Amino acid sequence: MRTLGVILGFGLIASTGAAQSSAAFDSIVISCNSAPQDARTEIPAELAQWATLSCTRFGHVIRAKNGWVWHNPRKNHFVRIWAQHSDGKFVESGHESYFKELEFRQLSASETDSANAALAA
């Protein structure tokens, strides 16, 4: 079992996924009811306005809430933060890939610069 802790900041630190329609994404969503007891299945209140956490056949994922788009224009991908580490070839792991911790904090100016530089690379 692989579990990940993630710190989300006020800046974009994420992996990207291939552009996918909402209907196609909805086809991989599963219920979070049977997630492990230590899995975080809700987004911190500070992020809930523009982010949502979904349980899928490929593990848990944080993505833009309906009405929002997180997009990487360099690669023409929607941005999603997956619990499953992948080089783009996801395996069906269900609740085996999940977040144990989610934390919100505002990034400092230098942390924001570092995050933006990493995304631009």
Give the domain ranges of the chain.
2-120
Per residue in 62-93, pLDDT (tens digit) is: 999 988 988 887 788 888 889 998 777 888 99
Q: What is the pLDDT of residue 6?
A: 41
Q: What is the pLDDT of residue 17?
A: 47
Q: Does the structure show a pLDDT above 70 at 18?
A: no
> Average pLDDT in the 83-106 region?
88
Q: What is the pLDDT of residue 89?
A: 83
Q: What is the pLDDT of residue 31?
A: 96
User: 20 falls in which pLDDT band (50, 70, 90)?
Assistant: low
Distance CA 30, CA 59 (A): 9
Cβ neighbors of 44 (< 8 A, separation 6 or more) are 8, 102, 103, 104
Tokens of 60: 């848990």
Distance CA 27, CA 25 (A): 5
